[in-house]
Structures are given as structure tokens and as C-alpha cells.
Amino acid sequence: MITRQPTLRPTALAALLVASGAAAAQATVAGQPVATVVISASADASAEGLTRVYSGGQVARGGRLGLLGNVDVMDTPFNAISYTQQLIQDQQAQGVADVLQNDPSVRVARGFGNFQELYVIRGFAVNSDDLAYNGLYGLLPRQFVAAELLERVEVFRGANAFLNGAAPGGGGIGGSINLVPKRAGNADLTAVTAGIETGGQKVGAVDIGRRFGPDNRAGIRVNAVRRDGGTAIDGESRELGVAAVGLDWNGGNYRLSADLGWQDQELTAPRPSVALAAGIAVPRAPAADGSFAQSWTYSKERDQFGTVRGELDLAKDTVAWAAFGARSGKESNVLTTTTATGADGAAGMYRFDNAREDTVRTGEIGVRTKLRTGAVGHSLSATASGFGSESRNAYAMGDFVSTIATNLYAPRDVAAPAANFFTGGRLDAPVTTSKTILSSYAVADTVALAGERVLVTVGLRHQRIKDFSYNYTTGVEESRYDESRNTPVAAIVVKPVKGLSLYANYIEGLQKGQGAAGAVDNIGQTFAPTVSRQKEVGAKYDAGTVGFTAAVFTTSQPQATVVDRVFGLNGEQRNRGVELSVFGQPLRGLRLLGGMTFLDAEQRRTQGGLTDGNDVIGVPRHQANLGADWDVPGVAGLALTGRVNYTASQFADAANRQQVPSWTRTDLGARYITRVGERTLTLRARLDNAFGRDHWASAGGYPGQGYLVLGAPRTFVVSGTLEF
């Protein structure tokens, strides 16, 4: 691995989120230095480059905080973490979910009835529609994002409507995820990777980075990957193609960057999620390497996406920026909706086909400056953003009355039935069924007091949400929604002694308001945006080579219920919790990463009080991760790795009668770095679910639904990377 050491200015004021290393280049004439040019290759075209890597190289010292830009972890009045490319490579992560297996506050689930990755942060769902790419929502593939595209994965824990604006998919209550693209470093890079995993899945990838032009001001980073073959699940196969180009230019007082990407994925006979019939006990988990999928099912997704970003120095400590992005996506699926009807594994299936096409356009502009009024410092930020998406959908269902009879433990594979029992639109020519338009503007001031030992942040964002829905067959508008809301933030960081930061915050989440539907008297009524309120206090300790964080939080989110045939926002989900994390290198050659999360997710003011006080669907009370990466003494280049993930039991129904057992998963691995002539060769091996534990990995993810996802089987992955 080639390690690039980034530069870091003492202030994060003039930075926008950053994503590549920085170094100094010095030109000479006849042996005498004539100029020194600092080139900062940055994903967001900012002046600073990546925040520094923390001891051990697995996480960074900070990351993006929306309009506040990049902020060091000890100056941040929130709980956030940034996973580095070194961690992504060393763990052979294939996608975002693999990276987030390291996070004790996150559990990975799945979308409702499909194979879309979904991330549960602090007990609230963040679906992949709401992933940010270099700070912009909606630009990446919806189902799965390949890890080869990424320099860093930044996880913000907590509500964030002020920082990032309302998420278009309704997330942003328990947290957000920003994915940082790769940029060319200051050293030439040519890396070729080949590997194989259980089931015969093969991978080939290339990663090329170059800087060129006057003083190496221009950079290009090219990544391409191909995966093809069976998986560790019987009968399942996967094809994935990815290509991406990242460009940047440093013009001195201005900086430009751009990204272009393409991803094409196809799953054949993918194992579906399992819904539970009312009143049955949760069936024991089937064999993790088995499948109850039908051989004729598949899921296909193809996306093209791109961004362009620029930053201009207006004056000393004053910078303006602008960013724009677009995505075009197309999906087609032939799936089965699967419901377990008995604890003995009896189940019914029916066919469900759908087609979807998405067009997304998004952008932001902003300015940030720094000034002083006497002994008080100010970091002022202002931004305006816009987002627009159009979705074209169609579906066709098979007979969902007379379903296909099967069993989770002894599945039946039948001929594909017709999908004409109930339809909406044409699968070969879907019409526009929804449009979403978001716009916002925000201002913030971070005030530095007492020699910057006290940092106070206040701000306000005005958000407007417009949403339109149309008939699947005719395309005629059926409803529209246009509402706005102000979302504030107030936060403080106090540094009583070196290496210790205490913080507190109040911040809100914002979701599009719901509309009354079903057998209610106020059908069609549309409600104002739903506001979730978060209060949090925490502490962070930086010992130099190892860091610790602790946070205590409470977040309340309104829930829709029906009372006396009237639909309204009468209920509430209240999540309270404690987060503990550790990261870094406490001993030379030993890297640790992990923590624990304790959650109390309670239903309140439910319909008729029937489930008041019950646990929320799919939220365990305890979850813990601990990972270690150890350089073996006396064997140069050899490292052993291990990770243990624990998730407590959770419920799949609001009445808390269907309990999903707790589970523990152990992953093991090894890495060896050597030289082949003048080249560096890195060999990596990983054994996921090393003890082959069969388990239900998650319950639900979509509001009010408790469908189960079977955990991945024991999977062996081996690869080699040769750097030229």
C-alpha cells in the first residue's frame, strides 16, 4: 500500500469536505530551489485535502459536517467517525455495508421487498437513497455502492437536517453517511487486484492515479472493477461492473474537481427477505449457505452519475464554493414476496415484478469566512441547496391469494408463474409516478471563546419540501405537497484540559409530511413536515495513539396512528441510548476499532395505547463490535485480524410477541505485504462468519414492517494486490 500523508491547516474554516492526500512539491533549477508549490488533491476541490489519519490508519481525525465543512473530531459537537481507504482495502470490503460492519452504532438491514442496502443508525433507518456523495444526496446507485469508488466512509451519528438539509428518502433522523470519492495522490499509483471467494465469485480491479501539468496541479484517478460468479449462498450469483474517473485541478486561488461513474449490477436467484404471518413464532434461522429463492428471480440495476465542484478564494480566510451533480438510474426486478406462515418453516410466495427509472439533479453553493471581534473568533457559513428527482415506476404481481407453497428448510423451486394478477403501468415503458423538489438555505456561526477552549455553534436552515405523486397507469397527478420548515442547531464544545473535549447539542431531523390514506374520515389530508428532536451530551478523549468517545442521546420522532377513524401524527417513537467507541493504536503494531451501543427504543402514544412502552420493531437493546489488527512480531509484513459483532434480541412486531434471537458473528483474516522485484505485493485473506452461525441478521427497516433477513454464511475471500 502506498501511504500518502495529507497536510492540515490549523483551521477548518476555509475547507469544504476533503478527500485526498496533500504534499509539497519543490522544483529546482541547477540544484537550487526556485519555488515551492503545495498541491492538495481534494475530493471537494477544497484547499486543505483530507483530514489527517488517526494513529493506526483505520479512521481519520475528522470529516465533513455539512455546511460547516471539515472539522476535527475534537472540535466537533457531535459524534461522528470517518473510515479510511486503508481500512476498506485491508478488510477487502465490497460495499458500504461491509465497511459499516465496523460501527457499533450501525446495523445493516434491507429495503422492503427488494435488495437495497439499508443502514440502521441509533435505531432509525437510513436507506441507500439518502447516501451523500461528496456532500450531495441521491447521486449514487440505490441498491448497492461498490467500495472501489470510495476514499472514505463518513458516518454522522444523530439527526442532521440543519447540517445537510432534509434527506430526499426520509432518512437523517438517526444519522447520515457521506461517501468520499478518490483523488490522485502526489505519488504515482498503479495497483492491480485479483481475488476469489467461496462460491466461485471472482474479482479483478485496477486503481490508477497520476498528477501532471505545471507543478503537478492536475490529477486523475481511474478505478475499474469486475465481479462475476457464484456467491457463498447456494444457487445465487452476482455480476458487477464499475468504472469511475476522478479529476482535479489546483489553480492556486481556485480549485476544481469532477467525478464520473458507472455501475452495473445483476443478482440472479437472490435469497429474499421473509415476512412473518401474524401470531406465529419466529422460525429458527435456516442454514446460512442455503437458499429458498426461486431460480427465475433476479435484480438488475444500472447507473451513470457525475459531479463537478469548484472553490474560489475571495479574500484571506474567505472562500466560496459551488457543486452540482446528476444521476440516471434504471432498475428491473423479478422477485418473490415471501411470508413464513408457521414456526415449522412453512411459507408462501408470490411473484412481484417492477421496473424503475430515476433522474436526479442536485447542487449547492456557499461561502465561509473567518473573522475576529476582539478576543472572540467567528467562523461564519452560509449555503443554499437544491435537489430534484423524477421517478418512473411500474409493477406487476402474481397471484397473491393462491401463493406458491414452500418451506424455508425444504424449499421448492417451481416454474415462474404469470405476473398479471394485479398491475400498475407498463414494465417496458413506466410513466412518472413521483417527483421530489427540495430547496433550502442555511446560516451558521461557530464562536471561539477562551482561547478557543470553548466553541459555540448556532445556526438555522430554512427547508422547503415539494412532492408530487401520479397515477401508475395514466400518469395523471393524484396528489401534491408543498411545505416548509425552519430547523435550528445549538451546540457547544468545552476543552477543560488537553486531549479532552466535552460537548452538548440540540439538533433536529426533518421528513416529508405524511398523507392520510386508507379507511379514515380525513383521507387525502396532508400534514406538515415531521420534526424529530435530538438532545445529546458526550465526551471525547484523545490520548495521542488511542481515542475514546462517549455519547448519551435522546431522539423523539412523531408516528402516524388512526384514532376514531382520523389519521394523525398522534404517536411517537422515542430512542434513548448510550454510545461508547474506541479507535487507534494503543500498542505499537496493535490497532483497535469498536465499541458498544445501548438503546431503549420505545413506542409511545400508540393507537388505543395497545403497544405503549413496547420496543420498536427491529431495534436491539444492545449491540457491540470489537475489531483488532495485529502486526505479528518477528514476521515482517504479516498482520492478523479479527472482529466480533454482537447484536441482542429484537422484535419483529409492534406487540413484541415475535422475538428474533440475539446473534454473534466472528470474522478472521490475515494480510502479508512483500516485495516482488521493485513492486509491492499485498496478499489478503478473510473468513467471515468463521464459525458458520445461522442467524436472522435483522428485522424490518421499513416503518411498521418486521421482515427478516438471513445472515451471510461462512465466506472465505482471498485477493492479491500488486502495485507498480
Residues 607 and 560: their CA atoms lie apart, in Å, by 9
- The three-state DSSP-derived secondary structure of 544-577 is CCEEEEEEEEEEEEEEEEEECCEEEEEEEEEEEE
Tell me the mean pLDDT in the region 116-120.
Answer: 95
Which run of H or E residues covers position 89?
Answer: helix 85-90
Whether the per-residue pLDDT at 9 is higher than 60: the answer is no
Per residue in 554-600, pLDDT (tens digit) is: 999 988 777 777 877 788 999 999 999 999 999 999 999 999 999 99
Say how far apart CA 187 and CA 214 lie, in whole Å. Answer: 15
How many C-beta atoms lie closer than 10 Å to residue 231's C-beta? 25
Which region, left, alpha or beta, applies to residue 341 given φ > 0 means left and ψ of -120 to 50 means alpha? Answer: alpha
Quick one: the chain helix, strand, coil %, rounded to 5? 5, 60, 35
On whether residue 279 sits in a domain, the answer given is yes
Give the domain range for residue 678.
Answer: 22-723
Contact 159, 508 (CB under 8 A): yes
Phi, psi for residue 161 in degrees, rounded to 5: -60, -35
**pLDDT tens, position by position, 270-301:** 999 999 999 999 999 999 999 999 999 999 99
Phi, psi of 248 (to 5 degrees): -150, 155
Residue 558 to residue 573: CA distance in whole angstroms: 6
More confident residue, 14 or 139: 139
Cell (9 digits) for 208:
490508477
* Number of domains the chain is built from: 1
Instruction: Read off the pLDDT band of 39 (50, 70, 90).
Output: low
Spell out the residues 6+ positions from residue 254 whose beta carbon is closer than 8 angstroms to its own.
310, 311, 312, 313
Beta strands at 202-212 and 189-197: parallel, antiparallel or unpaired: antiparallel
Which strand (E) or helix (H) includes residue 501?
strand 500-511
Residue 200 lies in a domain: yes
User: Among 2-6, 43-47, 64-68, 672-676, where is mean pLDDT lowest?
Assistant: 2-6
Q: What is the CATH number of the domain that holds 160?
A: 2.40.170.20
Burial per residue of 675-692, b for 16 or more beta-carbon CB atoms within 10 angstroms, e otherwise = eeeeebebbbbbbbbbee
Report whether pLDDT(402) > 80: yes
pTM over 0.85: yes
Beta strands in 316-453 (DSSP E): 318-340, 346-373, 376-397, 404-407, 422-424, 431-449
120 bridge partner residues: 107, 125
Predicted confidence at residue 518, as pLDDT, reads: 61
Q: Percent of the chain beyond pLDDT 70?
A: 93
Average pLDDT over residues 679-704: 95
* CB neighbours of residue 455 within 10 Å: 24
Q: Give the position of cell 459555540.
A: 456
> Over the stretch 480-539, which tens digit does the pLDDT of each residue have?
889 999 999 999 999 999 999 999 999 999 988 776 666 667 766 667 788 999 999 999
pLDDT of residue 443: 98
Cell output for 489: 442547531
| Residue 723 pLDDT > 80 | yes
What is the maximum alpha-carbon separation in the chain? 88
Alpha helices in 157-256 (DSSP H): 161-164
Q: Calculate the alpha carbon distances from 724 to 1, 147, 211, 243 in Å.
A: 11, 21, 16, 20
- The alpha carbon of 455 is separated from its chain's Cα centroid by a whole number of angstroms, namely 28
**Residue 546: how many other CB atoms lie within 10 Å:** 19
User: 311: part of which helix (H) or strand (E)?
Assistant: strand 298-315
Average pLDDT over residues 145-156: 96
The rounded distance, in Å, linking the Cα atoms of 381 and 384 is 11
Average per-residue pLDDT for the chain: 91
Provide long-range contacts, Cβ within 8 A and 24+ apart, for 649-652: 649/620, 649/621, 650/615, 650/617, 650/618, 650/619, 650/620, 650/699, 651/614, 651/615, 651/617, 651/618, 651/699, 651/706, 652/276, 652/282, 652/617, 652/618, 652/699, 652/700, 652/706, 652/707, 652/708
Q: Which residues contact 462 (CB under 8 A, 6 or more apart)?
A: 440, 441, 442, 484, 485, 486
Residue 261 reports pLDDT greater than 50: yes
Q: How many other CB atoms sit within 10 Å of the CB of residue 642?
A: 16
- Say what the pLDDT of residue 46 is: 76
pLDDT of amino acid 439: 97
Residue 23's pLDDT band (cuts 50, 70, 90): very low
User: Does position 706 have pLDDT exceeding 50, yes or no?
Assistant: yes
Query: 3-state class of 613 per DSSP?
Result: coil
Residue 13 reports pLDDT greater than 60: no
Q: Within a domain: residue 11?
A: no
pLDDT given for residue 601 in this prediction: 97
Give residue 109's pLDDT: 95
Question: What residues contact residue 450 under an 8 Å CB cut-off, 6+ apart?
Answer: none
pLDDT at residue 707 greater than cutoff 60: yes
pLDDT tens digit sequence for 336-351: 999 999 999 999 999 9
In a domain, 2, yes or no: no
Does an H or E element contain 98, and which? helix 96-100
Compute the distance between CA of residue 141 and CA of residue 561 in angstroms, rounded to an integer.
33
Q: Which residue has the higher pLDDT, 220 or 36?
A: 220
Complete DSSP assignment for 233-286: STT-EEEEEEEEEEEEEE-SSEEEEEEEEEEEEEEESPPPPBEE-TTPPPPPP-
How buried is 365 (Cβ within 10 angstroms: 0-12 exposed, 13-18 middle, 19+ buried)? middle
Is the pLDDT at 1 greater than 70, yes or no? no
Tell me whether residue 66 is in a domain: yes
**207-215 CB contacts, 8 Å cutoff, 24+ apart:** 207/148, 207/182, 209/182, 209/183, 209/184, 209/185, 210/184, 211/39, 211/41, 211/184, 211/185, 211/186, 213/249, 215/25, 215/27, 215/35, 215/37, 215/39
DSSP-derived secondary structure letter, 200: B
CA distance 91 to 195: 13
Cell numbers 428491473 correspond to 332
Between 37 and 198, the higher pLDDT residue: 198
- Model confidence over 68-87: pLDDT tens digits? 999 999 999 999 999 999 99
Residue 443 within a domain:
yes
Collapse the DSSP code of 168 into the 3-class scheme (helix H, G, I; strand E, B; otherwise coil) and give the result. coil
Whole-number Å distance between alpha carbons of 259 and 385: 19
Categorize the per-residue pLDDT at 170 as very low, low, confident or very high, splitting at 50, 70 and 90.
Answer: confident
| SS3 state of residue 368 | strand
Distance CA 110, CA 101 (A): 14
668 Cβ contact list (under 8 Å, min separation 6): 640, 641, 642, 686, 687, 690
Q: How far apart are CA 13 and CA 377, in angstroms?
A: 11
Work out the number of other CB atoms within 10 angstroms of the CB of residue 636: 10
Q: Which three cell numbers stand for residue 125?
A: 433507518
Q: Tell me if 717 is assigned to some domain.
A: yes
Q: Which three cell numbers stand for residue 99?
A: 465497511
Is residue 569, in this structure, part of any structural domain at all?
yes
What is the C-alpha separation between 129 and 120, in angstroms, rounded?
13
Confidence band (pLDDT; 50, 70, 90) for 329?
Answer: very high
- Span 439-489, pLDDT tens digits: 999 999 999 999 999 999 999 999 999 999 999 999 999 888 899 999 999
